[in-house]
Structure 1
Amino acid sequence: MTGTAQGLDRSVLARPLKLPNGFEIPNRLAKAALSEGLGRRDLSPGDRIKNLYHRWSGSGVGLTITGNVMVDRTALGEPGNVVVQDRRDFQDLTEWAAVAKSGGSKVWVQINHPGRQTPRTLTSRPVAPSAIAVPGTAGVFAQPRELTSREIEDLIGKFATTAGIVTEAGFDGVQIHGAHGYLISQFLSPLSNQRTDDWGGTPEKRRRFVVEVLRAIRAEVGAETPVAIKLNSADFQRGGFGEDESIEVVHALAAEGVDLLEVSGGTYTSAAMLGVDPSLKESTRRREAYFLSYAERVRSELPDLPLMLTGGFRTVDGMVDALDSGAVDVVGLGRPLTVQPDFPAELLAGRADESIVNPRRSGIRMLDNLTELTYYSVQMRRMAAGKEPAPDRHAALNVGQYLLNNGFESLRRPRRGH
């Protein structure tokens, strides 16, 4: 054990968490959503994703959140997305849920729509709140068209339909993806939502879409099924979605009865969720939890809202400190579980103090981003094929395997935990 962890009371990690609706999470560690990219060509889950979640089923986490499942078969965020728009893959979903829950973890499905943030190789004419392209990504994302009011209402219904199907299939709850520049995040930002109707123009109208999505899902799944949301603390872009407006959104969602808030931040053009955004202070990185100060603010204003924080946790000290401080209720772990699938169980048993996640870096930003991109994806694919992670494998081998699996086009956009 490390010196700082000797004598540390890590029992807080093992405490159950009861949500306000009565749902209980067995402990305070969660597998955060990661984009698996392992679905079949027909957009169903398939065996590879079941193999991966079978490996994670005994990880020791109390809560598992899947990578984003899309609500519309015509709108994919990336190759390998799973889509649940109807019941055609219901048996497959049932098997996935059973496998993922087999080790005792509660399992929620993250549901999402990419909006304008879909590669042009997948969607030539994406939809968005306004006809504004993703900045600085010419050639990667196509120019979107503006959604009509009727289409917006239809999309709200699709979120609810997906939530109803996956929970009927055996998943314990859902998480709405409202962060990282996807459709809900696009509605929230004044940079991407420049509508002047009932869906934009003021902070209240910009957040109407996410509020209506939450209401529709709640009506579909009932009060006892957890409905969580992942939300940006900010999008870290000048003139964009800032912390004050984000706090207002949290108040609105809390008033609607959201069961848990996962705090994140950033977009494709400012990837703060990876800890690579230049606006993040070095002191923030040292605290491990990139968005802890925002979580502390939410806690001070909404003390009864359960909070999950993901992004940067690597040591038992950082996790225990965040929980003991009362700022958060659940620690989210994403990338560590791609290289150490048993890391949470080892933490709980006192056999591990720190994650070994450490992609090799050259100091060349473009090269390091590529290494980061492929490092975690390859580990998940290994587990999906029944192999163990290979964290010390040479970066060049990872890049080669990633290109073989995904093609060169996949390197034109940053892929990261969702």
Structure 2
Amino acid sequence: MTTPVPIPVPTPTPDIADSLTLPCGAVLPNRLAKAAMTEGLADPQGRATPELERLYGLWADGGSGLLITGNVQIDRDHLERPGNVIIAGAPDEAARAGLRAMARAGTRAGGHIWMQISHAGRQTQVTVNPHPKAPSAIAVGLPGKQFGLPVALTEPEILELIERFGVAAEVAKDTGFTGVQIHAAHGYLLSQFLSPRANVRTDQWGGSLENRARMLMAVVARVRAGVGPAFPIGVKLNSADFQKGGFAFEDSVIVAGWLQAAGVDLLEISGGSYEQPAMMDTAGVEAPDAPPQKASTAAREAYFVDFAKTMRASLTMPLMVTGGFRTRHAMNAALAQGGADIIGLGRPLCVDTAAPAKLLAGADTLDRWENTLRLLPPWLAFLGGLKMLRTVEAFAAVYWYYAQIDALARTGKANIRISPFSALLSIQKAGKVWLKAR
């Protein structure tokens, strides 16, 4: 009698429609997330408004299993832009009511809404604060005098900011948000502490990687102590700063391991800062010590997947990757190859809030608007002297997406007919009005 040969059970192919159980026990209903995008829709006191409620209701109805808000700032003097929601201590009942309405709208279709908590540090515009606080007195390396010379934080101020992150997370939980994401990427304060270029301190908050990561780790610990073990905590971390002498990929891998040990539930891999805005367009951008990019990455699908796949070798916690995804095939491939557990979507949802539902229903391709927003002829791109103009073009395109978010929030519909420069002028004008009124 022969022994039956066991028939191997095939491993299910990961799909964007699959649910995901996080280490804390919370369950995301699918693998699509609305990534954090700045809204600029708070009132002059930094309170959430009916426009934010409408906007997050639209995104909730659109099918994403997870919505991550734009920057909610823990210090009203250190904003990413005018119109940020602000939690600078215990908010009053009016502020809590606005947050509750926003959270209810964001969860009305059964998904999660996480509050992204942040501090802009030296990347605070000079119109908000001419001398912002930062790890060290090193200004943002950009022309135009948009950012002032920062003042180095004292240790008591650092400890106070750690406490403020914790308070903001507690407020998020109390007002109905189902998780928080700590913003430690894109050159904002926690990212500045991690960067040897921005942090030249010689005390326990600077120098070695362990010291430069001390504030981030202290924030994670304070947030966890405040919200308890069952509340999801995410962190957004640069894979690299894409600058010589900045936060390196090998350092990012080490910090990611520390975050996993600290009980972080979801790590979003991103990259860049205002000085090197890789998060806006990373095609062809590589850190000096980064793993080689594949053709798909160079082709602008899944900007940070290759970084995440390399991190996966030493990590077990769920990873989220945002940037460049436009096809269901690329999204599922990233899930199958271990490059991501959650796919973040940003710009497509600025125009089509139902894009996730369409993907879940079987659609394969999302519209890409970037190529229609170019202000300069593509054949001029090779001229080195036009680098600054290309940067202006990139920022004008970003403002076009800002304008789409604004239109969705106010009217329920995008406004794709507005030009990038008109969008830039409109959003900047609104920012000046907001600053004058605060």
Q: Which amino acid aligns with 1:163?
A: A
Query: What is the aligned partner in structure 2 of residue 294 from structure 1?
Result: 307
Q: Specify every segment of 5 or more residues in structure 2 that has no aligned partner in the other structure, as ranges.
A: 1-11, 287-292, 378-388
Seen in structure 2, the aligned counterparts of structure 1 residues 300 and 152 have a Cα distance that, compared at 3 Å, is same
1:264 partnered with 2:270:
yes
Q: Which amino acid aligns with 1:34?
A: M
Q: Which amino acid aligns with 1:299?
A: R
Question: Any idea what the Cα deviations from partners look like across 1:326-345, whole Å, max 9, x if unmatched?
Answer: 22100000111001110000
8 Å CA contact retained: 2:55, 2:412? no
Q: Report deviation, 1:55.
A: 1.5
Give the whole-Å Cα distance in 2 for the aligned partners of 1:385 and 1:42: 19
Q: Which amino acid aligns with 1:74?
A: D
Give the whole-Å Cα distance in 2 for the aligned partners of 1:40 and 1:255: 38
Give the whole-Å Cα distance in 2 for the aligned partners of 1:10 and 1:34: 30
Give the whole-Å Cα distance in 1 for the aligned partners of 2:59 and 2:224: 28
- SS at 2:55 equivalent: helix
Seen in structure 2, the aligned counterparts of structure 1 residues 11 and 349 have a Cα distance that, compared at 3 Å, is farther
State which of 120, 132, 155 in structure 2 corresponds to 1:126.
132
1:74 partnered with 2:77:
yes
Give the whole-Å Cα distance in 2 for the aligned partners of 1:400 and 1:209: 37
Query: What is the aligned partner in structure 2 of residue 248 from structure 1?
Result: 254
Query: What is the aligned partner in structure 1 of residue 177 from structure 2?
Result: 171
Q: Report deviation, 1:125.
A: 1.8
8 Å CA contact retained: 1:33, 1:334? yes
Query: What is the aligned partner in structure 1 of residue 91 from structure 2?
Result: 87
Q: Which amino acid aligns with 2:285?
A: S
Q: TM-score, normalised by structure 1?
A: 0.91
Aligned positions of 1:12-23 closer than 5 A: 12-23=15-26
Give the whole-Å Cα distance in 1 for the aligned partners of 2:160 and 2:427: 36
Q: Report deviation, 1:269.
A: 0.8
Query: What is the aligned partner in structure 2 of residue 5 from structure 1?
Result: none
Seen in structure 2, the aligned counterparts of structure 1 residues 135 and 95 have a Cα distance that, compared at 3 Å, is same
Q: Which amino acid aligns with 2:203?
A: D
Aligned pairs, how many?
Answer: 401
8 Å CA contact retained: 2:181, 2:235? yes
Give the whole-Å Cα distance in 2 for the aligned partners of 1:348 and 1:153: 44
Query: What is the aligned partner in structure 1 of residue 402 from structure 2?
Result: 377
State which of 325, 329, 336 in structure 1 corresponds to 2:337.
325
Question: Any idea what the Cα deviations from partners look like across 1:148-207, whole Å, max 9, x if unmatched?
Answer: 111111110000000001111000010000000000000000111111111111111000
- SS at 1:57 equivalent: helix
Q: Which amino acid aligns with 1:388?
A: K
Give the whole-Å Cα distance in 1 for the aligned partners of 2:326 and 2:72: 27
Q: Which amino acid aligns with 1:292?
A: V
Seen in structure 2, the aligned counterparts of structure 1 residues 182 and 397 have a Cα distance that, compared at 3 Å, is closer
Query: What is the aligned partner in structure 1 of residue 123 from structure 2?
Result: 117
Query: What is the aligned partner in structure 2 of residue 197 from structure 1?
Result: 203
Residue identity over aligned pairs, in percent, reads 41
Give the whole-Å Cα distance in 2 for the aligned partners of 1:68 and 1:57: 18
Q: Report deviation, 1:84.
A: 1.0
Query: What is the aligned partner in structure 1 of residue 149 from structure 2?
Result: 143
Query: What is the aligned partner in structure 2 of residue 316 from structure 1?
Result: 328
8 Å CA contact retained: 2:73, 2:85? yes
- SS at 2:183 equivalent: strand
1:57 partnered with 2:60:
yes
Query: What is the aligned partner in structure 1 of residue 41 from structure 2?
Result: 38
Give the whole-Å Cα distance in 2 for the aligned partners of 1:337 and 1:347: 12
- SS at 2:313 equivalent: helix
Give the whole-Å Cα distance in 2 for the aligned partners of 1:337 and 1:57: 11
Q: Report deviation, 1:244.
A: 0.4
Question: Any idea what the Cα deviations from partners look like across 1:40-68, whole Å, max 9, x if unmatched?
Answer: 11111111211211211201000000001
Give the whole-Å Cα distance in 1 for the aligned partners of 2:33 and 2:100: 21
Q: Which amino acid aligns with 1:301?
A: S
Question: Any idea what the Cα deviations from partners look like across 1:96-147, whole Å, max 9, x if unmatched?
Answer: 1101111222010000001111011101221011111111245111111111
My pick for the range that moved more, 281-290 or 141-150, is 281-290
1:188 partnered with 2:213:
no
Alpha-carbon RMSD: 2.1
- SS at 2:298 equivalent: helix
Q: Specify every segment of 5 or more residues in structure 1 that has no aligned partner in the other structure, as ranges.
A: 1-8, 411-418
1:209 partnered with 2:220:
no
Give the whole-Å Cα distance in 2 for the aligned partners of 1:147 and 1:402: 31
8 Å CA contact retained: 1:338, 1:379? yes
Q: TM-score, normalised by structure 2?
A: 0.87
Q: Which amino acid aligns with 1:33?
A: A
8 Å CA contact retained: 2:22, 2:265? yes
8 Å CA contact retained: 1:67, 1:110? yes
8 Å CA contact retained: 1:287, 1:318? no
- SS at 1:332 equivalent: strand
State which of 399, 407, 414 in structure 2 corresponds to 1:389.
414
My pick for the range that moved more, 68-77 or 396-405, is 396-405
Seen in structure 2, the aligned counterparts of structure 1 residues 111 and 222 have a Cα distance that, compared at 3 Å, is same
Query: What is the aligned partner in structure 2 of residue 350 from structure 1?
Result: 362
Question: Greater CA radius of gyration, 1 or 2?
Answer: 2
Q: Which amino acid aligns with 1:305?
A: M
Question: Any idea what the Cα deviations from partners look like across 1:221-277, whole Å, max 9, x if unmatched?
Answer: 000000110000000111110000111111111111111100000000111111257
Q: Which amino acid aligns with 1:124?
A: P
Seen in structure 2, the aligned counterparts of structure 1 residues 131 and 376 have a Cα distance that, compared at 3 Å, is same
Seen in structure 2, the aligned counterparts of structure 1 residues 339 and 166 have a Cα distance that, compared at 3 Å, is same
